[in-house]
Amino acid sequence: AKERRGDYLGGTVQVIPHVTDAIKTFVLTGNEDVDFVLCEIGGTVG
């Protein structure tokens, strides 16, 4: 959604910091009324 709104001002979206910041924001927002968050992150590099 940020790229469609023009938040990156036509620049290249990079994994670090753009994608990692988006993941952290997703995990940390909207969790004020819960006791814990279980988040699994996986993938393959290489």
Report domain extents, the chain: 1-46
What is the band of 38 on the pLDDT scale with cuts at 50, 70, 90?
A: confident
pTM: 0.54
Question: Highest mean pLDDT: which of 21-25, 31-35, 37-41, 42-46?
Answer: 21-25
pLDDT category at 19 given cuts 50, 70, 90 is confident
CA distance 34 to 23: 18
Distance CA 29, CA 38 (A): 14
User: Using an 8 Å Cβ cutoff, are 31 and 37 in contact?
Assistant: yes
pLDDT at 9 over 80: yes
- Cα–Cα distance measured from residue 20 to residue 28, given in angstroms and rounded to the nearest whole number: 12
Query: How buried is residue 18: exposed, middle or buried, by Cβ count under 10 Å (0-12/13-18/19+)?
Result: middle
Amino acid 32: pLDDT = 80
Single-letter amino acid, residue 46: G
